[in-house]
Amino acid sequence: MRILIRGARLIDPGFLDGRMDVLIQDARVADIQPEGVIKVPTGNDITIYEAAGYILTPGLIDMHVHFREPGQEYKETIASGCRAAAAGGFTAVCTMPNTRPVNDNGQITRFILSQASKACGVRVYPVGAISKSLDGKSLSEFGELKDAGAVAVTDDGKPVTNSLMMRRAMEYAGGLGLPVISHCEDMDLAHGGSMNEGTVATRMGLQGIPNAAETIMVLRDIALCELTGAKLHIAHVSTRESVRAIREAKRCGIAVTAETAPHYFTLTEDAVRDYSTHAKMNPPLRTQQDVDAICEGLRDGTLDVIATDHAPHSPVEKDVEFDNAANGIIGLETSLALGLRLVESGVLSLTGLIEKMSTRPAGILRLTSGLKIGSPADITVIDPDRVWTVNAGQFQSIGRNTPFDGWTLKGKAVLTMVNGVIVFDQRPKAE
């Protein structure tokens, strides 16, 4: 089986940008040539896709998703999560370990990989837990997790509050070459708050969470990163002070990387004004000043990665009073279009966006990526001009908890291919 994708603008950050033809054969990129150079092969086993006007990129990678299997399959299964990823243009995802039971041992990691192998084909890279059962008290066996296939460790959803524990985690993970992904939150300072601290929270009568609850932990973990020499990755950055701290750490040569999520550069705390639980997340949505700083951090490279923190919940957890609602929103099927808004507004170049959604996460986690002859054919084809309206009811994800329902967005993945196999195809039907 051979596939020829013709005439798309191929963007592979730091490598290629131009109109190219790409030939895929035996699950690999067999040839890449300027448009028209590859002679159209003949035979029954060839499919030709005309892709003029589209963008072709290395497969997008979302390094922060919560699929709820094992344990809460009514929210999301690995199969449904993979379908949502494919529909969003993602060829690979990294699953956070806060499943039930927690992914704190090789057996659960292998179970996740086995379920993933039966799903639509999107690559799943499990992330193991730092502490057993996420209790913050005893370390998991990182070696066992790594041997089973884990690509990093984190207690995401919870901070590692004990600094000695975090130090040991970094030393252990550093020795194995595993990045430590940190959920930065000072729980005492967050004090059970349910939205950003400020006048909006006061007016709404809700307990607020100050920016410092995040930034204190960012600063602590940067200090521990410097102490241990481990690789630290800060998850879901939401505050301007965190951006500043990470920028300064990078300037000093500390091995820290960081991600933010589309909601943190798209929305402010105003989205919470009508007590919409679909705008409740942790860390919470912040102010316009923070949004501006997040955009600047993306622009100047302080923030390396855009990840969704895709967190499906059912109405049981979300259709309740604001204080009691679960944190988190789904993101896999809106992330690319929200990212493209940054290109539209001049924050990022198209290449810069693809870097943050593909090659940078791959680099941080040492995953294969990129479109070179001979490399696995993980490819995303994007229609940058497709205007569409978000309809959560039609998502592949089981989750419906998105604040973007009803939004009109521009740009969409129209073809997602993993290892030469098409896992999502929404090109316009031929006349």
Q: How many CA atoms lie within 13 A of 31 on its CB side?
A: 16
- Quick one: 197 or 309, whose CB is closer to Zn ion? 309
Binding mask 363-382 for Zn ion (x = CB under 5 A): --------------------
- Quick one: 351 or 401, whose CB is closer to Zn ion? 401
Q: Kindly state whether residue 214 participates in binding Zn ion, applying the rule CB under 5 A.
A: no
Distance CA 220, CA 224 (A): 6
Q: Interacting stretch for Zn ion, rule CB under 5 A, among 14-22, 165-173, 285-293, 304-312? A: 304-312
Identify the residue among 186, 309, 355, 383 touching Zn ion (CB under 5 A).
309
Q: Interacting stretch for Zn ion, rule CB under 5 A, among 3-11, 174-182, 197-205, 301-309? A: 301-309
Helix (H) or strand (E) holding 215, with range, is: helix 212-228
Q: Which residues, at least 6 apart from 188, have a Cβ–Cβ distance to it below 8 Å? A: none
Minimum distance of Zn ion from residue 218's CB (angstroms): 16
* Max Cα distance, the chain (Å): 69
Q: Kindly state whether residue 185 participates in binding Zn ion, applying the rule CB under 5 A.
A: no
- Quick one: 183 or 356, whose CB is closer to Zn ion? 183
Q: Kindly state whether residue 21 participates in binding Zn ion, applying the rule CB under 5 A.
A: no
Minimum distance of Zn ion from residue 152's CB (angstroms): 13
Minimum distance of Zn ion from residue 139's CB (angstroms): 20
Query: 3-state class of 73 per DSSP?
Result: coil
Q: Interacting stretch for Zn ion, rule CB under 5 A, among 150-158, 290-298, 364-372, 382-390? A: 150-158
- Quick one: 66 or 83, whose CB is closer to Zn ion? 66
Distance CA 177, CA 152 (A): 9
DSSP state of 359: I
Query: 3-state class of 404 per DSSP?
Result: coil
Q: How many CA atoms lie within 13 A of 125 on its CB side?
A: 21
Catalytic residue among 221, 309, 378, 383: 309
- Quick one: 126 or 411, whose CB is closer to Zn ion? 126
Distance CA 431, CA 425 (A): 16
- Quick one: 41 or 136, whose CB is closer to Zn ion? 136
- Residue ranges of E strands in 167-214: 180-182, 195-196, 208-209
Minimum distance of Zn ion from residue 149's CB (angstroms): 19
Minimum distance of Zn ion from residue 127's CB (angstroms): 10
Give the residue carrying structure tokens 């589309």: 262
Minimum distance of Zn ion from residue 264's CB (angstroms): 12
Q: Interacting stretch for Zn ion, rule CB under 5 A, among 5-13, 201-209, 294-302, 306-314? A: 306-314
Of 402, 383, 376, the C-alpha closest to 391 is 402
Known catalytic membership, residue 319? no
Query: 3-state class of 288 per DSSP?
Result: helix
Encoding tokens for residue 231?
């690789």
List binders of Zn ion among 97-116 (CB under 5 A).
none
Q: Are 10 and 51 in contact (CB under 8 A)?
A: no
Distances in whole angstroms, Cα of residue 53 to Cα of each of 19, 385, 430: 9, 9, 15
Torsion sign, CA atoms 374, 375, 378, 383: negative
Minimum distance of Zn ion from residue 360's CB (angstroms): 18
Q: Kindly state whether residue 355 participates in binding Zn ion, applying the rule CB under 5 A.
A: no
Q: Interacting stretch for Zn ion, rule CB under 5 A, among 107-115, 126-134, 308-316, 394-402? A: 308-316
Beta bridge partners of 17: 11
- Quick one: 4 or 281, whose CB is closer to Zn ion? 281
Identify the residue among 12, 21, 69, 156 touching Zn ion (CB under 5 A).
156
Q: Which residues are catalytic?
A: 309
Site residues, Zn ion (CB under 5 A):
156, 309
